[in-house]
Chain A
């Protein structure tokens, strides 16, 4: 026999018990145990909230993967998901060779991904160990006004040393973000942001096998320094995915045939990013406002993520290989490039280097035939910097950096660890054409790069290339 007191405290698992408590206002597909209202709240408030039992990973959702980062752990206290974020200075590595003093959460830059389920009641404690006040705004979330996190407007800023409590019920699902909203310019420029993923209580559509979250951001870290410059407004030189630059970005690994979801959030200070993927076309399935109905999901290979926006894309990984995924703004895929250097393309450096070495030992003219392989040249550069750096790949040096990562799709995978480089099936690798092939197909063998004669194909009769008129 359960006493009334026990009944009230422990709750009932029957519909009758639910009705007695009167706390639910929407139908559920499965019987879910009701939880008692948190201590200290009155019944009217309890009636307003939709308290659901906290969702669990694996059981209620495919846990999101945050490459180069982690998911924020939580504990359940009386049915409430409790998180703890500590804002603090963090010594952060953008890629091996570049260590920078940033501001992050819980010893990480950016902050760990907060993951929850629609309907969860969350309580987030925020401890401030920064040298100035802070606050956290839950970007895209509909929360009580006093929880919205704009310093001065919605709450008193959290002073250094203080711990504040944010508490609200999650009423949406989708891809959201959280970031500092006090002295935003400085604090965001130093890294205080993170992803906030809310899974639907009632998922619709196909379930993704792989679910990734990528936060896009931009920084100015002058070569040879180790602190971002938050004053920079236009000339950023480090573009990051989850606060990492290539070659420091972890690849996104999936098995052939799996459904992949990628959540992209952009909290860059000033730049939108057109994120382009090779070897696939995805559909944009959600924005920071919510899911996009299937009939109007736009197919793209390049999704433009504006500042403050999130875009969720989904695709089926049906094309095996190592596929580049990157911001298509070409300067966003270079590491710490300077923009004040003179244009030396096409300059013949003959004789100049010897002249200069008379008064500057070790000088070498660079850039007269482009900037490829600058990173691989091994020139002495200032310590703690990655200027023009890329990484060696299977077929040579990959001269990319910045906002660049690789989607690795494999037919056979024993684990989701980095599977190494893709082995090209025979006949599918671009390689130097043999002379026989050239003579057979073009009729001649093209000369060297400076060109001795073009292909007759270029000026074939009928194309008008050699001035013939026809028709």
Chain B
């Protein structure tokens, strides 16, 4: 039998192979990390043991000592998010499957002593050794498919990581915008506080009724209530980021940087974005490979439809008198009733299904890119309009009102109200700016994690463009 030397070799070189296998494992995880780094410029490190875990945690804690920036939040999430690490193990699993695909099925040894029920009770021995020839035949094909599957798995995990990156950025912008909004609302509270002080002074001097004073108190209280609500939301946003960054215990106490980045000079151009997405999106590439697997599987199914089982080996008998008879064995499943027509039809349908699903996904990818690019454009125009028109106009209005107040034709309460309206406009501007950045990070994810078609050099930030 030709496979025997192979089996012996496997036994002899097992330890060598397992060492090589260990390197291969690290490589698989590292490749995922490299893919993520190529788009995000950030590190994803596999926590294969406690030492690695500690390394990640130490790095995260080092970043947490500074006021949290968007880049730091993403870095910490990539290092620390448990679910991502769980997803990362899909690469390990797929790798194991790949290795499995490279093993020949173990041969089966059967030994069967048979003792007669009468004397002399010396047993007869039946023995045999068999292995699946089909298995050996299909091994290269199996390995090829498993290799594809491994690639697909790595790509999917990388895509998952980039989705997390986008989610973290979005949550970060939400948090920072919330902090700035609280800031503006506190400024509003200051104005209403001053108005209340004035009303109180008027009331003490006997110039207004308690009803008028009450109205001012209500206005002030309502602002205080809004502030409390914003505070609560801000704590929720903080917690959301904690979850995304996988933090717990004392690590959950950190401060965020307090300003949203300014509008960048320009957005990525519309042309080429769709192409960028279809060429560089990892999840699309994974799906492509999965479709390839399905296609190849169908090919194999079609070619070997008649061959469903083929075993070969040797069998022998040791007689009671000590003599042996040994000879080769072969078993073959005959394609009499089932020639694989149904299997082929099913396979064909599944292949077509996989193709349609892939096309659907590709369409969605393209559409998502267009939709998000449009949204980005609209959000930019909104923000720019606030900066160029609305906010300057409100500022001028406050100044003009101040002159009218100086001329004693305007009440100080009206003047205060105009300032409050200016602050409200600033709040609306912050919302628009946050939505711009969120749209931008979504678009970045939708084109595959980076607007640059060339992968970023290690360490070069790809995220914040100021």
Task: Pick from A338, A356, A380: contact of B408, CB below 8 A.
Answer: A338
Q: Which residues of B contact A366 (CB under 8 A)?
A: 406, 408
Main secondary structure of the interface of B (DSSP, over half): helix
Given A347-B207, A380-B403, A381-B406, A352 and B202 touching (CB < 8 A)?
Answer: no
Q: Is the CB of B197 within 8 A of A382?
A: no
Across the interface, do A344 and B194 meet the contact criterion of CB distance under 8 Å?
no
Q: Does A243 contact B (CB under 8 A)?
A: no
**Shortest beta-carbon distance, B403 to chain A, in Å?**
5
CB distance from A222 to the nearest CB of B (A): 8
Which segment, of B246-254, B259-267, B302-310, B410-418, faces chain A? B410-418
The reply to whether A341 and B409 contact each other, CB–CB distance below 8 Å, is yes
- If the complex has contacts A337-B408, A338-B409, A352-B197, are A382 and B400 also in contact, measured as CB distance less than 8 A? yes
A380 touches B406 (CB 8 A): yes
- In the bound complex, residues from chain B placing their C-beta under 8 Å from that of A360 are 398, 402, 415-416, 419
Q: A415 vs B98: C-alpha distance in the bound complex, in angstroms? A: 119
Q: Which residues of A contact B202 (CB under 8 A)?
A: 342-344, 347
Contacts of B204 in A (CB 8 A): 347-348
Say yes or no: A340 contacts B207, CB within 8 Å: no
- What 1/0 mask marks residues of chain A from 193 to 231 whose CB sits below 8 Å from any chain B CB? 000000000000000000000000000001110000000
- Among B406, B410, B413, max chain A CB count under 10 A is at B406
Query: Given known contacts A347-B205, A352-B194, is B411 in contact with A342 (CB within 8 Å)?
Result: yes
- B148 sits at the interface (CB 8 A): no
**Residue of B at shortest CB range from A335?**
B407
Q: Which residue of B lies closest to A385 (CB)?
A: B407
A374-B412 CB under 8 A given contacts A343-B207, A363-B402, A382-B400: no
A349: chain B residues at CB < 8 Å are 201
Q: How many residues from A make CB contacts under 8 Å with B?
A: 37
Q: How far is the CA of A346 from the CA of B203 in the complex (A)?
A: 10
The residues in B between 169 and 208 inclusive whose CB is less than 8 angstroms from any CB of A are 187, 190-191, 193-194, 197-198, 201-202, 204-208
Residues of B within 8 A of A379 (CB): 406-407
Minimum CB–CB distance for B210 against chain A, Å: 15
- Measured in the bound complex, the distance between the Cα atoms of B413 and A222 in whole Å is 19
Contacts of B415 in A (CB 8 A): 360, 363
A387: CB under 8 A from chain B? yes
A367 to B398, CA, bound (A): 21
Question: Which of B409, B411, B419 has the most chain A CB atoms closer than 10 A to its own CB?
Answer: B409
B404 close to chain A: CB less than 8 A: yes
B206 pairs with A336, CB closer than 8 A: no
How far apart are A424's CB and chain B's nearest CB, in angstroms? 33
> Nearest chain A CB to B92's CB is how many angstroms away?
59
Interface of A is mostly: loop
Whether B409 lies near A340 (C-beta < 8 A) is: yes
B404 touching A382 by the CB < 8 A rule?
A: yes
Partner of A367, one of B187, B403, B408: B408
Which residue of A has the minimal Cβ distance to B405?
Answer: A363
* Most chain A CB atoms below 10 A, which of B187, B403, B408: B408
CB pair A355 B194 closer than 8 Å: yes
A175 to B208, CA, bound (A): 48
Interface membership of A122, Cβ < 8 A: no
Nearest chain A CB to B219 CB, angstrom units:
15
Q: Per-residue CB proximity of A340-382 to B under 8 Å, as 1/0?
A: 1111111111011001101110110111000100100001111
Tell me the chain B residues, 353-405 only, with Cβ under 8 Å from chain A: 398, 400, 402-405
Which residue of A has the minimal Cβ distance to B420? A359
Partner of B407, one of A343, A347, A363, A381: A381
Closest chain B CB from A431 CB (angstroms): 31
- Of A365, A380, A385, the residue contacting B412 (CB under 8 A) is A365
Task: Say yes or no for A388: interface residue by CB 8 A criterion.
Answer: yes
Give the residues in chain B near A356, CB-CB below 8 Å. 194, 412, 416
Q: A338-B410, A380-B406, A388-B407 are in contact. Are A344 and B207 (CB under 8 A)?
A: yes
Candidate in B190, B193, B198 with the most chain A CB atoms within 10 angstroms: B198
Q: 20 A-B pairs, CB-CB below 8 angstroms?
A: A224-B403, A336-B407, A338-B410, A340-B411, A341-B410, A347-B204, A348-B201, A352-B198, A355-B193, A359-B194, A359-B419, A360-B398, A363-B405, A363-B415, A365-B198, A365-B412, A366-B406, A366-B408, A387-B406, A387-B407
